[in-house]
Amino acid sequence: MNATANASITKTQLFFLIVKTQIGIGLLSLPSDIQHSAKGDSWLSVLLAGAVIQLLLLIYWRLLKKFQGANLSQIIVSLLGRYAGKALNLIYYVFFILIAAYASTLYVQLIRTWMLALTPGWMLFLLIIGTSLYLACDNLRVIARFFVLASMLFIVLVLISFLTFSHETHLAYVLPLGQSGISPILEGSERTFFSMLGFEVSLYFVAQVQGERSGGIGVMSLSNVFVTIFYTYFVFICQIGLSPGALTQVNEPVLYILKGLSYQLFDRIDLIFLTIWIIPMTATLVCYLAIAGKSLTVKQPSYRKLVVFSAITVFACGWILSAQENLDVFSKWLEYSYLIMIAAVPLLLLLTSFLVKPNKKVEAT
């Protein structure tokens, strides 16, 4: 298992890597979040957010194409030089860790609300982060293998969601189109954008795709289209399945619409849905641990150590975060500063790359 730090992945694997990172905990509460602002046009907000992400992906692609075979951390080092580059990479690392910690906090909260009300939080953290660590410390090819396998579950999830059509559905809830006007829709897509985070992993993973690079943007766009449609679909079924009033009341509408379903063999489809949903949620953590590792190191042995260290940090941060009364302030701060990191910084890097002649020798940090 030596020298496999840069083990190559196929394009199909890249697709599933991005998709699995993006689809995670955010979706479950998304419909009610957007409902507050965009009302009946929530699903339009999702589509809009997908379009914005597509623009960002184009920027990423330009940047990645300019530096073939290098991931973001290598690009930064070659553009900004050794010390400034390393400093920026460290900031990225901190953000990835914080995002992972935040996601795991939400994850644990969700599990405690829906499944295990009495289990101590640290226990759940330990299980979740331990599982993610077990996968994340291996090379990307292994991670990709698992993600492709786990993606089969999306089929099951979509099949389960079809059951909701046996409820009363009211298409009138989303009509007329554009009822809430432009600015609420924009506000809604801002919320959506944050729950669709995860596409930034492509900055690190595209470099390891084997074969010709030209198809990279195609895969990235395809995964974005898939995720956008997946999100839109779930937001849409929540909108037509729950009344606007109820939608603002419940925390996790996606689970809530499944809760009422009852069949002869089993009740509470939401629990089964959530059990399966645990896997995409963990996958998101795995990806953040992996890119946190990749942001600071290239070699496999040091990567492994770093991932172990990151996992411990995420555990500690998550525990501290879960002890907070109110996460709103923190999450607002985190989300907006993260937005700068994944939108503004790559754009600036792209602009810099036009001005600066890049240092040809990409330093292996």
Partner 1 sequence: MFNVKRKSHMPKQAAIPAVQLKPTDLEQQIVQIQQYMSHTEDLKVQKLSLHGHLYAVMHIEALAMLETIQTNVIEPLVTANEGHLGQVLHSAEAKQSSNLVHIGQYLLDGYCLIIKEHEAAAMLLPAAQVHGRSIQEPKDEQVVKGSHDGFIEGINTNLYLLRNRLKNPDLTVKYFRLGSLTNTRVAMVFMAHIADPKLVAECEKRLNAIDLEYLNSVGNLDEMLEEHPLSPFPQTLKTERPDRAASYLLEGKIALMVDGTPSVLILPITFFSFYQSPDDYNSRWITGSFFRVIRLISFILAICLPAIYIATVSYHSEVLPIGILYSVKVSLTYVPLPPILEAFVMQTILELLKEAAIRLPAPIAQTIGIVGGLVIGTAVVEAKLVSHTMIVVIGLTAIASFVTPINEFGTSLRILGFPMMLAAACFGFFGIAIILMLIFIHLCKLETLGIPYFAPFGPFHGKENFKDVFLRLPLWMTNKSSQSPSYGLVKQTLFGRWKRP
Between CA 125 and CA 315 the distance in angstroms is 6
> DSSP alpha helices (H): ranges in 2-81?
11-22, 26-38, 42-66, 72-80
Report in angstroms how near the CB of residue 269 gets to partner 1 at its nearest.
9
Which of 267, 324, 344, 364: binder of partner 1 (CB under 8 A)? 267
Report in angstroms how near the CB of residue 203 gets to partner 1 at its nearest.
23
Q: Which residue's CB is nearer to partner 1, number 10 or number 352?
A: 10
Residue 252's SS3 state is: coil
Residue with tokens 């990749």: 294
C-alpha 23, offset from chain centre: 6
Count of CA atoms in the C-beta half-sphere (13 A) of 175: 4
Residue with tokens 């939400």: 106
Report in angstroms how near the CB of residue 135 gets to partner 1 at its nearest.
5
Report in angstroms how near the CB of residue 87 gets to partner 1 at its nearest.
34
Q: Which residue's CB is nearer to partner 1, number 124 or number 207?
A: 124
Report in angstroms how near the CB of residue 156 gets to partner 1 at its nearest.
13
Rg for the chain, CA atoms, rounded: 20
Q: Is 279:154 a contact under the CB 8 Å cutoff?
A: no
Size of interface with partner 1, in residues (CB under 8 A): 37
Q: Is 18:24 a contact under the CB 8 Å cutoff?
A: no
Which span (5-13, 43-51, 70-78, 187-195) binds partner 1, by CB under 8 A? 5-13
103-162: contacts with partner 1 (CB under 8 A): 111, 115-116, 119, 124, 127-128, 131, 134-135, 138, 141-142, 145-146, 148-150
Q: Which residue's CB is nearer to partner 1, number 160 or number 276?
A: 276
C-alpha 79, offset from chain centre: 27
Which of 5, 13, 257, 314: binder of partner 1 (CB under 8 A)? 13
Between CA 219 and CA 92 the distance in angstroms is 24
Q: Is 307:290 a contact under the CB 8 Å cutoff?
A: yes
Q: Which residue's CB is nearer to partner 1, number 152 or number 329?
A: 152
Q: Which residue's CB is nearer to partner 1, number 285 or number 334?
A: 285
Report in angstroms how near the CB of residue 192 gets to partner 1 at its nearest.
26
Q: Tally helices (H) and strands (E) across the chain.
A: 16, 0
Q: Is 59:344 a contact under the CB 8 Å cutoff?
A: no
Q: Is 261:163 a contact under the CB 8 Å cutoff?
A: yes
280-319: contacts with partner 1 (CB under 8 A): 282
Site for partner 1 contains 263 (CB under 8 A): yes
Binding residues vs partner 1 (CB under 8 A) = 1, 10, 12-13, 111, 115-116, 119, 124, 127-128, 131, 134-135, 138, 141-142, 145-146, 148-150, 262-268, 271-272, 274-276, 278-279, 282
